Amino acid sequence: MTSQTERSLVLVKPDGFRRGLTGEVLRRIEAKGYTLAALAVLTPTREQLAAHYAEHEGKPFYEPLVEFMSSGPIAAVVIEGQGCIPGFRSLAGATNPTDAAPGTIRGDLSRDWGTAVQQNIVHGSDSPESATREIGIWFPNL
Ligand code: DAT
Ligand code: MG
């Protein structure tokens, strides 16, 4: 890893995993040129989700978010490459799938299902500090 290389934590959320879209998400990451540094399939515990989503505790969508994220298996992925933190956020698109542009993961593959929490296929770290913290939650041995 060069000094400029960065890593980001990507989650294929239960909606994406359940719908068989993990391969499509990984395809877009690899087609962009980022590499996979770690990959795991697991059902998140509440403890992992409380740590991962600590910044959202107390918000109206927090409980539905934790409920949704623990509803089934996810794919946790560490990706690598210069600029991959903002780069993956661009690939993912806007948080709300209705607003996400066509061509993005959320714009192409999701929609508003009328649920209390947005089901938007993927999570991606939003800063180098978040990436380091989040990778430690999902891959403590990395
Ligand atoms: P992002 O996943 O784009 O970083 P976030 O960190 O603000 O977005 O929120 C975490 C997740 O919570 C997001 O992916 C979907 C859900 N969410 C965010 N804001 C919401 C809202 N106002 N109503 C319903 N769900 C929301
Ligand atoms: Mg976020």
What is the domain count for the chain?
1
Q: Which residue has the tokens 């560490």?
A: 78
Task: Copy the structure tokens of residue 25.
Answer: 């998400």
Confidence (pLDDT) at 131: 98
* Interval 82-133: pLDDT, tens: 999 999 999 999 999 999 999 999 999 999 999 999 999 999 999 999 999 9
| CATH at residue 114 | 3.30.70.141
Range of the domain at 119: 5-138
Q: Which of 95, 104, 123, 133 to mutate to test the pocket of ligand 1 (most atoms within 8 A of CB)?
A: 95
pLDDT value of residue 3: 56
Which is nearest to 71 in space by CA: 12, 139, 13, 134? 13
CB 121 within 8 A of CB 106: yes
Find the residues whose C-beta lies inside 6 A of ligand 1. 56, 61, 65, 95, 117-118, 120, 123, 126
Structure confidence by residue, pLDDT tens digits, 11-62: 999 999 999 999 999 999 999 999 999 999 999 999 999 999 999 999 999 9
Each residue's pLDDT tens digit, 104-113: 999 999 999 9
- 18, 76, 121, 83 alpha-carbon torsion, rounded to 10°: -160
Mean pLDDT, the chain, integer: 97
Name the residue at shortest CA distance from atom 22 of ligand 1. 61
Helices (H), the chain: 14-18, 22-32, 46-52, 62-69, 84-92, 105-109, 128-138
Please, are residues 82 and 4 in contact by the beta-carbon 8 Å criterion?
Answer: yes
Give exposure, 63-72, as e/b (b: 16+ Cβ within 10 Å).
Answer: eebbebbeee
Angstrom distance (rounded) from CA 91 to CA 104: 5
